[in-house]
Amino acid sequence: MATFSLSDTSRRAQATGNGSAGPFSFSFQVNSQSDLKVYVDTTLKTLTTHYTVTVGASGTGSVSFTSGNHPTNSQTVTILSDVPVSRTSVYTAGGNITAAALEGDFDTQTMMLGDREERESRTVMAPVDDPTSADMTLPGKDTRKGKVLGFNATTGNPEAGPEIADVQSLAGVSADIQTLAHIEDGTDATDAIQTVAGIASNVSTVAGVSSAVSTVAGISSNVTTVAGIALSTGVVAGKATEIGRLGTSDAVADLAILGTSDAVSDMNTLAAISSDITAAANVSANITSTAANSTNINTVAGSISNVNTVAGISSDVTSVAARPA
């Protein structure tokens, strides 16, 4: 047990690792090496395995790390007093009560109070000027499970807040929320929200035809195709009268006839003799004259043998025709 004066000092020491064993000193007082807890960052280390402790006659001392366990220069070393809340001395009726025994017990009690004070300094507590009615008791386990800790809007007492999952979802869109806030408060010079507010009626109109907009979006490729033939569509629109004629039942019936295989074959035949048809058109007057003399032609055709005979003596006929009467 300790038999020295105890100073009022924090019973926790911190240092930054430097890649060496140490030593890392502490100025609070302890009874023995086992009265300490040593952390590297948040990891609790083990006495003799990871570190050793030297305690001087005044109760202060230092910690040195073993080979292979040296803290790096990015790690924090925390040395914490953790005096066991227990006592071994026993005072019996009529027994001797020595100054050393009392000194040791009182020192240990003071150390334990100092450990408690250090821990309380790191806890959440109401400030000194809070009303005495403040109750900093946490909500029950089943009430606070999966919740964020909150504080009542009237009393300021702890209470279960929103679901952790909801807060995480909100945190996931915090950047988007900040962007919207900047747009609204003028940080973003576009002031887009106010612009949309100015055309609220138009937005409402579009919202009313949202299904139609979705339908058009679903045929966007077709819309693009139609846009590409807009000029041709305009030409067709200029022929509305002619198109109307083709749309009559008679025209549709005639087109159906023209579409048969026989009609197509006949048109192909006509196309093959198109030059002959053109030649006939050039002598259409002769054809008309011939048609007018069809009776005489038929008569001649009936006397074709006589015609052939006369043709055979055409020179004689010509001679006779040349003699004077």
Q: How confident is the model at residue 274 (pLDDT cuts 50, 70, 90)?
A: low
pLDDT one-digit tens code per residue, 202-248: 878 878 888 887 887 888 888 788 778 877 767 767 777 877 776 78
- For residues 320 and 310, what is the distance between their CA atoms, to the nearest angstrom? 13
Q: Please give the residue that has the higher pLDDT: either 191 or 262.
A: 262
Which pLDDT score, from 0 to 100, does residue 158 have? 92
Whether pLDDT at 142 is above 90:
yes
81-94 pLDDT, tens digit per residue, is: 999 888 888 888 88
Q: With a cut of 80, say whether residue 268 has pLDDT above it.
A: no
Is 4 or 269 the better-scoring residue by pLDDT? 269
pLDDT of residue 20: 95
Integer angstrom CA distances of residue 96 from 100, 181, 262: 11, 77, 140
Q: Other CB atoms closer than 10 Å to residue 29's CB: what's the count?
A: 25
Residue 52 near residue 66 (C-beta atoms within 8 A): yes
Whether 182 has a pLDDT exceeding 80, the answer reads no
Between residues 273 and 154, which one has the greater pLDDT? 154
Strand partners, 295: none
Q: What is the pLDDT of residue 223?
A: 76
Query: CA 81, CA 32: separation in Å to the nearest integer?
Result: 10
Which pLDDT belongs to residue 236? 66
Mean pLDDT value across residues 1-14: 79
DSSP 16-36: E--SS---EEE-S--SSGGGE
Give residue 226's pLDDT: 75
Rounded to an integer, what distance in angstroms lies between the CA atom of residue 17 and that of residue 288? 124
- Higher model confidence: residue 308 or residue 27? 27
What is the C-alpha separation between 32 and 77, in angstroms, rounded?
Answer: 19
| Ranges 28-32, 102-106, 203-207, 250-254, most confident | 28-32
Band of pLDDT at residue 70, cut at 50, 70 and 90: very high
Q: For residue range 10-48, what is the model confidence (pLDDT) as tens digits?
A: 999 999 999 999 999 999 999 899 999 999 999 999 999
Is there a cis peptide before residue 23, judged by omega within 30 degrees of 0? Answer: yes
The three-class DSSP label of residue 74 is coil
pLDDT band at 3 (very low <50, low <70, confident <90, very high): low
Per residue in 154-170, pLDDT (tens digit) is: 999 999 999 988 887 76
Angle at 293 between CA 290 and CA 299, to 5 degrees: 115
The Cα 245–Cα 251 span in angstroms is 7
Closest CA to 6 of 112, 161, 93, 96: 112
Work out the mean pLDDT of the chain and round it to a whole number.
83
Task: For residue 254, report the phi and psi dihedrals to the nearest 5 degrees.
Answer: -65, -40
Q: Report the pLDDT averaged over residues 168-180.
A: 73
